[in-house]
Amino acid sequence: MTTEVIHDSHQGDEHHDHKMTGFKRWLYTTNHKDIGSMYLWFSFIMLLIGGAMAMVIRAELFQPGLQIIEPDFFNQMTTVHGLIMVFGAIMPAFTGLANWMLPMMIGAPDMALPRLNNWSFWILPFAFSILLASFFMESGAPNFGWTFYAPLSTTYSNGSTAFFVFAVHIMGISSIMGAINIVVTIMNMRAPGMTYMKMPLFVWTFFITGYLLIAVMPVLAGTVTMVLTDTYFGTTFFDAAGGGDPVMFQHIFWFFGHPEVYIMILPAFGIISTTIPTFSRKQLFGYSSMVYATASIAFLSFIVWAHHMFTTGMPLFGELFFMYCTMLISVPTGVKVFNWAATMWRGAISFETPMLFSVAFVVLFTIGGFSGLMLALTPVDFQYHDTYFVVAHFHYVLVTGALFSIYAGVYYWLPKWTGYMYSDALSKWHFWCSLISVNILFFPMHFLGLAGMPRRIPDYALQFADFNKWVSIGGFAFGLSQLIFLALLLKCIKGGKKAEAKPWDGADGLEWTVASPAPYHTFEVPPKIK
C-alpha cells in the first residue's frame, strides 16, 4: 500500500485548540487519542486490581489447607478477578487501542461519534466502582463465579446480585456504544481509496469484533436482567419450581459467552498481524485468507456454545454437533498461525520487544489452542471439566494470548503515543520475566487438572501441594513483573530518546506518516490511498 499524505501546514498541537487543563480536559474530551489513553490507563489499573486478587488466590493455594482467607472470600476473589480481567482489563485495553489507532490507520480525523466515545469511557469507572463497592457490604461481593450460573446467583445469592447486575449492565452499555462507534467509523470514515480489502488487518479484526459485540452484549444484558428479576421480582426463568430451567441459563449465558471469547482474541490477531510483518520486514502472508479466517471464526463462534456444557446431560447428537463445530474452529485459527509463520519465513527478522511478545504470543497461544482442542473432545471433557486443566487453557489464551498481544501493541505504538523511545533494557526485562514466570504459573496447571484438581476450590488434596507451590511462585513473579512495565511506562511518558515518525524501519501504515508524538489532530484532510 502506497500512501501520499497531504499535511496541512498548520497541523500540530496548537491547531485551533481550546484545550482545557487538568481534570476537566479528561472529563470533557472528545479526542480519540485522549479517550484511547484513558481506556488504556483504566485497563492497566484494572489489571493491577484483578491481579492483586489473583495474588490473594495464589497465596491461599500456596499450601494445602485453609491459611489466609475464608472459603466464601475465596469465592468472591475468583469471581471478581474473572469479571475485572474480562470486562475491566482485556476489553477496555482493546477499545483503547482501537480508539488510538483506528482513526489514524484509516486516515480519519477522529472516531465518528466523539461524544458517545467520551460517554462510553466515563461510565466504566462507575460500573467497576459499583462492582468493587460490593466488597464493603456485609455479605460481601459476588461469589458465584464470573459465569454467575443460576441458581448460585439467584436462589443462593449472598445479596450482591443487584450490584453485580447493574455493574454488568453499565459495562455492557459501554461496550455496545464503543462497538457501534468502531463499526460506524470503519464503515464511513475511511480515507478515499481505502477499500475494505485494503484496510490493515488490525482494522478488519476490530470491525468484526465490533459486530460480535453488538450481537452478543445485548444477550448478556438480557441474561443478567433475567437473573435480576428471578432474584428480586419473583420470576422463574431459571427456577424449575415455576416452570423455568437452570440449564437454560447456561445455554443463554454461553450463547453470549462463547462469542465473548473471540471478542477477546480477534483484536489480538489484528495486533499480531501488524507487528509480525513489521519486524520480519515482509508483507503479511495471505492477507485475504486472514480476513476470511477472522470472519469464519466469528461466524463459528455462534454455534459452539454448548461445548462449555458437555456434562449437563445433553443428548448424544448435541454433544457430537458441538464437538465437531468446535473442532472446525481450529481450521481458520490454524490458517492464521501458519500465515504468521509464513510471514516470518525467510524474513529479515529482528527481535525488538513488540516482536518478542508477538512470537511468544504465537507459540503460547497455540499451546492454549491445543488444550482447547483437547477440551473440545466430548469424552475426555468429562474428565477435564471444571478442573485446573480448563484454568490452564483459558489463561494460556487470555494471558499469553490476549494480554501478550496487548503488550506487543503497546510496545509497538508507544513511541507514536509519547514521542519517546522506551527503555529497551526495561522492556526486555519485562518480557523475559513475564515469559518465564507466566509459564511457571500456568503450565503446571495442566498437570494439576489432569490429575483431578477441581477449580474454584480454596483447598486441595496433599498430592497437589508441590505443583501448587510452583504455580504460586510463578504467579507472584508474574505479578511483580508487571510493575516493571509500570516503571517503563512512567519513564517513557516523562522523556527519553526522541522517537522518529517511523521508529520501526519495516513498519507500514498511515499511522507512521504522522509525527511522533502524534499531533492532537491528525488527518483533518484525508490522505489519498493509491
Partner 1 sequence: MDNAPGKNKQKQAINNTIKKLVVLVFAMFGFGFALVPLYDVFCDITGLNGKTSTEAASVKDAGVDSERTVTVQFISRTAQGIPWQFEPMINEVKVHPGEMKFVKFYAKNQSMRDIVGQAVPSVSPGRAANYFQKIECFCFNHQPLKANEEVEMALQFYVDEELPEDVSTLTLSYTLYDVTEKSDS
355 is an interface residue for partner 1 by CB under 8 A: no
- CB closer to partner 1, 89 vs 220: 220
Query: Is the Cα dihedral 235, 240, 243, 249 positive or negative?
Result: positive
Partners of 420 in the β-ladder = 498
234 is an interface residue for partner 1 by CB under 8 A: yes
203 is an interface residue for partner 1 by CB under 8 A: no
Which residue stretch of 30-38, 233-241, 401-409, 446-454 sits at the interface with partner 1 (rule: CB under 8 A)?
A: 233-241
Instruction: Identify the burial level of 426 via C-beta atoms within 10 angstroms of its C-beta, where 0-12 means exposed, 13-18 middle and 19 or more buried.
Output: middle
User: Minimal distance in Å, beta carbon 368 to partner 1?
Assistant: 28
What are the b/e assignments for 251-265, b being 16+ CB within 10 Å? bbbbbbbbbbbbbbb
Report yes or no: 163 and 142 within 8 Å, Cβ to Cβ. Answer: yes
395 is catalytic: no
287 is catalytic: no
216 is an interface residue for partner 1 by CB under 8 A: yes
From 187, 320, 480, 483, residue interacting with partner 1 (rule: CB under 8 A): 187
For residues 488 and 384, give the distance between their C-alpha atoms in angstroms, rounded to a whole number.
39
- CB closer to partner 1, 168 vs 189: 189
For residues 478 and 310, give the distance between their C-alpha atoms in angstroms, rounded to a whole number.
33
For residues 271 and 259, give the distance between their C-alpha atoms in angstroms, rounded to a whole number.
19
240 is an interface residue for partner 1 by CB under 8 A: yes
Report yes or no: 517 and 417 within 8 Å, Cβ to Cβ. Answer: yes
9 is an interface residue for partner 1 by CB under 8 A: no
Report yes or no: 444 and 466 within 8 Å, Cβ to Cβ. Answer: no
- CB closer to partner 1, 75 vs 185: 185
Which residue stretch of 94-102, 238-246, 352-360, 463-471 sits at the interface with partner 1 (rule: CB under 8 A)?
A: 238-246
Q: 3-state DSSP call for residue 443?
A: helix
246 is an interface residue for partner 1 by CB under 8 A: no
User: Minimal distance in Å, beta carbon 225 to partner 1?
Assistant: 8
User: Minimal distance in Å, beta carbon 247 to partner 1?
Assistant: 7
**Interacting positions 54-113 with partner 1 (CB under 8 A):** 112-113
Q: Which three cell numbers stand for residue 151?
A: 441458581
- CB closer to partner 1, 105 vs 221: 221
180 is an interface residue for partner 1 by CB under 8 A: yes
184 is an interface residue for partner 1 by CB under 8 A: yes
**Interacting positions 308-347 with partner 1 (CB under 8 A):** 313-315, 318
Q: Which three cell numbers stand for residue 102?
A: 483506528
What binding mask, one character per residue, do residues 108-147 give for partner 1 by CB under 8 A, x or -? ----xx----------------------------------
Instruction: Identify the burial level of 129 via C-beta atoms within 10 angstroms of its C-beta, where 0-12 means exposed, 13-18 middle and 19 or more buried.
Output: exposed
Which residue in 174, 353, 387, 418 is the catalytic one?
174
Partners of 4 in the β-ladder = 528
448 is an interface residue for partner 1 by CB under 8 A: no
- CB closer to partner 1, 314 vs 473: 314
260 is catalytic: yes
User: Minimal distance in Å, beta carbon 493 to partner 1?
Assistant: 33
From 245, 386, 459, 500, residue interacting with partner 1 (rule: CB under 8 A): 245
Instruction: Identify the burial level of 241 via C-beta atoms within 10 angstroms of its C-beta, where 0-12 means exposed, 13-18 middle and 19 or more buried.
Output: exposed
Which residue in 169, 190, 282, 307 is the catalytic one?
307
For residues 266 and 64, give the distance between their C-alpha atoms in angstroms, rounded to a whole number.
38
For residues 148 and 165, give the distance between their C-alpha atoms in angstroms, rounded to a whole number.
10
Question: What is the torsion angle, in degrees rounded to the nearest 10, for the CA atoms of residue 251, residue 255, residue 260 and residue 262?
Answer: 110
Binding site for partner 1 (CB under 8 A): 112-113, 176, 180, 183-184, 187-189, 214-223, 226, 234, 236-237, 239-243, 245, 247-248, 251-252, 255-256, 313-315, 318, 524
Return the active site residues.
81, 110, 146, 174-175, 258, 260, 262, 273, 307-308, 333, 336, 455
